[in-house]
Amino acid sequence: MNSRLKTKKITAIAAALLLSLIPSSSLFAQSDDFGIWTSLEAKKKLTEKLDVTFEGELRTIDGVQQTDRRSFGIGMSYEIAKWLKAEAGYIYIEAYNPQEKSLKEYVGDDEFGNPVHNYNIDHSYWEQRDRFVFSLTASHKIGRIKFSLRERIQYQYTHSALTYEDKYRYTFDMLDPNNPYPILPEDAPNSDAELKDGKHNTILRTRLTAKWDIKKCKIEPFASVELFTRLDEWRGHDKLRYRVGASYKIDKDNEVSLYYQFQDNKSSKSPALHAVGVGYSFDL
C-alpha cells in the first residue's frame, strides 16, 4: 500500500471514530437549548518557545435572547518539546443563572387527580467566578492529520451572590371537598432575600482533537470531543462536549474559525446545548 492510500485510509478511520462519539439519540431533543458563542484572542510571542495570550468570550442561550456568560482571560504557554506544550492561565467569568422553580412538599391532589405542591421560585441573578487552569497538550501527526490530547486541571471559585426567592404555599383547607379548586397565591407570595453561598470545584478536562491539514488550502477542518470529570466530588463525568468545524488562515497573523458544538450535560439540571461558535484570533 503506497503512502497516499495509507494516509487516506487513516483519515477515513479517524473521521469515523470521531463521528461515532457523537450521540445520535439526543442531538435534536425538543428540550435542548441553543446558543451563540463568540471569542476574540490575541497572542504575543515572547520567546521562541514562550507565548502570552489574551482572550475575551461572549455566550448566549435561548438563541440570542439572553447573554449566558461573558469572560476575559490571560494565559501563557511554553513548548517543552515539539510534541508537548504546557499552559497556565486565569479567567474571570460573569455567568447568568436563570429563574428556577423548585417543588417542595406535596399537599394533595386537585379534583382532576393532579398533584399539588408547595413551591419556590428563585429569581435570576449574575454570579462572578475566578478560574485557574493548568494544561499539558501532547500532539502527533499521522499523514496530514494532527492529533492532540489535552489534559487540563481546572480550579474554580464561585463568589457568593444575593438574589430573591418567592415562596408559594398552600393549606389543606384549600383542598377540602367544598373548595376543590386550589387557590394559587400568585398575588401574595412570601418573598425573601437569599444569599447564594460561595462554592469551589476542581475539574479534569480531557480533550481529543483532530485537525486535517489540506494541501495547498487555507481551510483546516477539525473535530474534537471533551470529557469533564469532577475531582472534588466524584460522580463520574459531568458533561461531554463535541465540536466540529474549520478554521481559515486569512494571513500569517490572522485566523477565523467557525464550528458547531453539542454539549451533553450528564449530571446537571441544565438541558443539552447546541451552539454555533465564531472565533477570531490574531498575533500581536
Task: For residue 36, tell me if it sits in a domain.
Answer: no
Q: Shortest CA distance to 14 belongs to which of 209, 150, 216? A: 209
Is the pLDDT score of 182 beyond 70? Answer: no
User: What mean pLDDT, rounded, does the chain reach?
Assistant: 85
Record the pTM. 0.81
Query: How far apart (Å, rounded) are the C-alpha atoms in residues 70 and 226?
Result: 21
Query: Which amino acid would we find at residue 119?
Result: Y
Q: Which three cell numbers stand for residue 24?
A: 445520535
Task: For residue 194, tell me if it sits in a domain.
Answer: no
Task: For residue 102, tell me if it sits in a domain.
Answer: no
Task: For residue 13, tell me if it sits in a domain.
Answer: yes
Query: How far apart (Å, rounded) are the C-alpha atoms in residues 221 and 258?
Result: 10
220 within 8 A of 249, measured Cβ to Cβ:
yes
DSSP 62-104: TBTTEEEEEEEEEEEEEEEETTEEEEEEEEEEEEEE--EEEEE
Task: For residue 117, tell me if it sits in a domain.
Answer: no
Q: Which residues pair with 17 in a beta bridge?
A: none
pLDDT > 70 fraction of the chain, expressed in percent and rounded = 80
Task: For residue 29, tell me if it sits in a domain.
Answer: no
Is the pLDDT score of 5 beyond 70? Answer: no
Q: What is the CATH number of the domain that holds 151?
A: 2.40.128.140
| Long-range Cβ contacts of 10-18 (<8 Å, 24+ apart) | 10/142, 10/143, 10/145, 11/143, 11/144, 11/145, 11/212, 14/142, 14/145, 14/147, 14/210, 15/210, 15/223, 18/210, 18/223, 18/224, 18/225, 18/244
The distance from CA 202 to its chain's CA centroid, rounded to whole angstroms, is 15
Task: For residue 136, tell me if it sits in a domain.
Answer: yes
A 10 A CB-CB count for 262 gives: 19
Mean pLDDT (whole number) for 182-193: 66
> What pLDDT, on a 0 to 100 scale, did the predictor assign at position 177?
57
User: Model confidence at 24, in pLDDT bands (50, 70, 90)?
Assistant: very low
User: Model confidence at 263, in pLDDT bands (50, 70, 90)?
Assistant: very high
222 within 8 A of 279, measured Cβ to Cβ:
no
Task: For residue 185, tell me if it sits in a domain.
Answer: no
3-state secondary structure of 253: coil
Q: How many domains does the chain have?
A: 1
Domain boundaries, position 244: 3-23+46-97+125-160+199-283
Query: How far apart (Å, rounded) are the C-alpha atoms in residues 213 and 219?
Result: 8
User: Model confidence at 105, in pLDDT bands (50, 70, 90)?
Assistant: confident
